[in-house]
Amino acid sequence: MKKYENKRRNVIGDLIKKYRENLNLEKVEVCRQLQLHAVYLDSTELKRIEDGNQIVKDFELIALCKVLDIDYDDLKNSIE
């Protein structure tokens, strides 16, 4: 199977969803916390990111990692 055969627009959506659910956070709460980092996503956009249907900008990824306390090694492994 080729890496991008399923036409996903990002490779980290599953990781973001896993961390969000492990913290028992609703999408809307994550979006509120992202605003503290000057990242403005609504819950629909976050759902599309988690589903792999929306591209994640670098500054959004950095903020998501901060808000969800995503481990760098987990992030790196999800990209490889």
- Per-residue confidence (pLDDT) for residue 26, from 0 to 100: 98
Domain count of the fold of the chain: 1
- Per-residue confidence (pLDDT) for residue 5, from 0 to 100: 53
Residue 79 is assigned to a structural domain of this protein: no
Residue 49 is assigned to a structural domain of this protein: yes
Are 19 and 69 in contact by the 8 Å Cβ rule? The answer is yes
> CA 24, CA 29: separation in Å to the nearest integer?
10
Q: Which domain holds residue 48?
A: 13-70
Q: Considering the entire predicted model, what is its pTM?
A: 0.86
Residue-wise pLDDT tens for the chain (80 aa)? 345 456 778 989 999 999 999 999 999 999 999 999 999 999 999 999 999 999 999 999 999 999 999 988 888 888 87
Residue the block writes with tokens 């973001």 = 16
Residue 3 is assigned to a structural domain of this protein: no
Residue 78 is assigned to a structural domain of this protein: no
